């Protein structure tokens, strides 16, 4: 039927099998870590898009909490996230200069 593999051929096949398994596990870890890193990426993007709008640390804390747990709060979470997005505009309109300009 099939001939027996030599020791070196068997060893190289095992090495290749281990390499493929490690690659599969690495891809699985990356796939399962995506939902955990998505809120952090979102916060980083918000900081880059509007650097001066996140004035008080309380606002940043609210952003982190709503990003992590907002979807679990249902309708209230959606409304709070929308309010948090429009807060810098409302805050700028209250200032004597009007709506803040983007640099």
Cβ atoms 88, 53 nearer than 8 A: yes
Domain ranges in the chain? 7-94
What's the pTM value of the predicted model, to 2 decimals?
0.39
What is d(CA 65, CA 58) in angstroms, rounded to the nearest whole number? 11
Q: CA neighbours within 13 Å on the CB side: how many for 11?
A: 3
Torsion of CA 12, 16, 22, 28, to 10 degrees: -170
Q: Which residue has the higher pLDDT, 21 or 50?
A: 21
pLDDT over 70 at 100, yes or no: no
Cβ atoms 80, 70 nearer than 8 A: yes
pLDDT value of residue 1:
47
Q: What is the pLDDT of residues 33-79, one digit of tens each?
A: 888 788 777 767 766 666 555 456 667 777 777 777 777 777 877 77
């Amino acid at each position: 039927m099939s001939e027996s593999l030599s020791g070196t051929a068997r060893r190289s096949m095992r090495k290749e099998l281990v390499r493929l398994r490690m690659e599969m596990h690495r891809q699985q870890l990356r796939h399962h870590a995506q939902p955990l890193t998505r809120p952090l990426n979102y916060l980083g993007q918000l900081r880059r898009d509007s650097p001066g709008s996140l004035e008080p640390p309380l606002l940043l804390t609210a952003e982190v909490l709503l990003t992590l747990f907002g979807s679990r709060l249902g309708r209230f979470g959606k409304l709070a996230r929308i309010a948090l997005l429009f807060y810098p505009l409302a805050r700028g309109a209250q200032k004597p200069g009007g709506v803040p300009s983007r640099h």
